[in-house]
Amino acid sequence: MPELPEVETIKREIEPFIVGRKIEGIEIKDHRNIKGISPEQFKKKLIGQKFKGLTRQAKYMLFELASGNYLTIHLGMTGRLLFAPDKYVKIVFNLSGGKNLYFSDARLFGKIRFFEAMPNLKLGPEPLQKEFTVEYLKKIFSKRHSSIKVLLLDQKLLSGVGNIYANEALFRAGINPHRKASSLSEAEIKKMQHAIEEVLEEAIKYRGTSDSWYVDAKGEKGGFQLRLKVYGKKNQPCPKCGTTIKREAMGQRGTFFCGNCQK
């Protein structure tokens, strides 16, 4: 699933492409990604509107329209926003200047919604915001006895971190994913904060991780998959100590870690 670095990469590519352009038409090949509104109303609400801006909140893209309305897109597991079509295109936005923006989704997990005003997505702070502090992490960790890995994926507490980067950040911080969140010392919380910020910033620099479906708006793969330390590395040697990397299911997600380096 595209996580914060992948969505940020796509956002940076699409923003200059759409801002100032008018939606002149919408082709709906499959309406199932559109939520909370009929396909007919979706077209009626959007056609003729002009894009004013594009922002990102965690894994969501928020398209601001000149009217004050908003279009939100969550790519889900296999969603893509593309400048050129692929075989899984579900919706085509016909824009002024003879340009198109294609929404593609092989498995239909993505969600597209229309809002009359800026929506409240009810997300926790994300790691690249000023609210992501050691004090905030101490507060949410101290009250919870769930595993640190599961907590990192709770978007209501901490948004934007998905499975890939939770695995990688825990490895960099040297923290076992099974540890109870409340068991972390202040020093470990500082390591955790730094590791999360570091891995997300590095992943954005390398334009995301293409371990399955993800490509950017140009249809090109990211580069961070070449820098992964533990994710997807079951039975391979740990890059730090050589111990075999384990894979276990936690919260229905694959969890990769080194039992020697991560305590």
Q: Which amino acid is at 256?
A: F
Q: Which amino acid is at 221?
A: K
Q: What is the Cα–Cα distance from 64 to 68, expressed in whole angstroms?
A: 7
Catalytic positions: 2-3, 59, 253
* Residues with Cβ within 8 Å of residue 59, at least 6 apart in sequence: 1, 2, 3, 4, 7, 74, 75, 155, 159, 160, 162
CB 80 within 8 A of CB 103: yes
Q: Which residue has the tokens 């640190």?
A: 148
Element at 74 (helix H, strand E): strand 70-74
9 φ/ψ angles, rounded to the nearest 5 degrees = -60, -45
Radius of gyration, CA atoms only, the chain: 20
